[in-house]
Amino acid sequence: MSDTALHPTTAEALARQPDRLGDTELSDNDYALNSLKAHKQRGLELAVRARWIAMAATAIFLLFVYPDWAVIYYLAILGLMCLNGYFIQKVGRVGQSRQELFLIFVDLALLTFAIVCPNPFATVELPVAFQYRFDNFMYFYVILAVGTLAYSWRTVVAIGTWTTGIWMFGLLLAWWFSTPDLALQAVVYEAFKDAPRILEILDPNSFMFSFRIQEVMVFLLTAVTLGLSIRRFDVLLLSNAALARERANLSRYFSPNVVEQLSKNDDPLKQVKRQKVAILFVDIVGFTQISETKSPYAVITMLREFHARMEREVFRHNGTLDKYLGDGLMATFGTPIAGEHDAEHAVSCACAMQAAMDHWNQERTRRGEEPIEIGVGVHYGDTLLGDIGANRLEFAVIGTAVNVASRLEGLTRVLPARIVVSKDAFDQIPAGTRDLYEGFQRKDDQTVRGIREPISIYYRTSSG
């Protein structure tokens, strides 16, 4: 009953969080529940602050309007309501919480008690019915307004219903146990005996039940209206959270700047087109031999750590993770939107991958594990981009350039080398920045399996 709404800005932040807890995939319901839990706490914090500000403003107003020691009674009630708000924040959670609902009920009962019961410190004793002449019912709207910051539409409607019940119950008790002031009534009657309507309004012993019913009816209608508005807003915000999650999932495959571009365009991936793209292949050298000496769990753990490091470098260099290939992966640079530095980003990524592996191997050596070597191949050329598949679509990059990059990665075993880059890719690097890629050696007329004509390549045998 106390589910809170998702804030639009923080919904995106939550959607960027991992969708895994350990190794367990979160379902859509789990994701929504986790989002609601986080935002419930944020809503409660805002509600408590708003409550304290409202109570402080009310206290200042009372001190200014009623500069009398009797105001201490009302200040004490305000203090109790502030304290109760603190407890509500502590026990509040998503879903039905009986403690939280009870404390909300206490809030309404406290305010009713303060309004209905005469001030024990007051120097002038007035009829109990007079307590209803000061229009203090308006303070219930403060509780209702604060409730919209943290509670679901059901709870907001419940606040309206409970307020109606408590207020009318308090009215009946006050009417039943009050002692009419006949002397004061006689004075008023004598003054307005010729004006029965005015006499009815000014009668000091009249509780004016019609006005009291009007108060709670308007309050209840307001609560229901706010509740429906919150429900509608919740649907919109949860929908926004779902879109944010889809965007976060998209960021697993594309770099953040590409995701930003995709989010601004309508269906950019459905257009089949030819485009020059830089392609990178990387995989583990001698993976079969390594996996034979390890348990399946150890192999999967190793691959997860490997893929995490490789994909981090792909995204850091504005690349797109095309697919995992068991002990390797394929990445593209310039998809779905081409840029001037795609090939340079691919070569930089290859170098960064080797540096990341060197650092990881240092950690593995300290743990007594064998180092792992990788081979990286990079090519730049024409490709065909577009969706493939029938019911399940996949954005594909196909063409001879992809095959060349894959063969160059395999060439790292033959030379041997750690990185092999085609001349087509290396030539795209601006002349002014080639010094950053020292250690590469050129080799002309290199035969590559599956390619008719020999090509020129650049390769590096060290991490640089």
Residue range 142-195, pLDDT digits in tens: 888 888 877 778 888 999 999 999 999 988 998 888 888 888 888 888 888 788
Chain position carrying tokens 């089949």: 272
The beta-strand segments (E) located in 188-311 are: 273-284
- Under 8 Å between Cβ of 127 and 180: yes
Tell whether omega for the bond before 336 is within 30 degrees of 0, i.e. cis: yes
Mean pLDDT calculated for residue range 120-142: 81
C-alpha to C-alpha distance for 308 and 303, rounded to whole angstroms: 8
Mean pLDDT calculated for residue range 343-355: 95
Residue 336 token pair: 């779905």
- Quickly state the pLDDT bin for 381 (edges 50, 70, 90): very high
Query: At what angle are helices 72-91 and 28-65 packed, to 10 degrees?
Result: 170
Which of 89-98, 139-148, 190-199, 265-274 shows the lowest per-residue confidence on average (mean pLDDT)? 265-274
Residue range 389-435, pLDDT digits in tens: 655 556 678 889 999 999 999 999 999 899 999 999 999 998 878 77
Residue range 302-315, pLDDT digits in tens: 999 999 999 999 99
pLDDT value of position 154: 86
The listed range with the strongest mean pLDDT (5-19, 173-187, 220-234, 367-381) is 367-381
- Under 8 Å between Cβ of 161 and 227: no
Mean pLDDT calculated for residue range 109-133: 81
pLDDT value of position 188: 82
Q: Is the pLDDT of residue 21 over 60?
A: no
212-226 burial string, b = 16+ CB within 10 Å, else e? beebbeebbebbeeb
Q: Which residues pair with 375 in a beta bridge?
A: 283
- Under 8 Å between Cβ of 377 and 420: yes
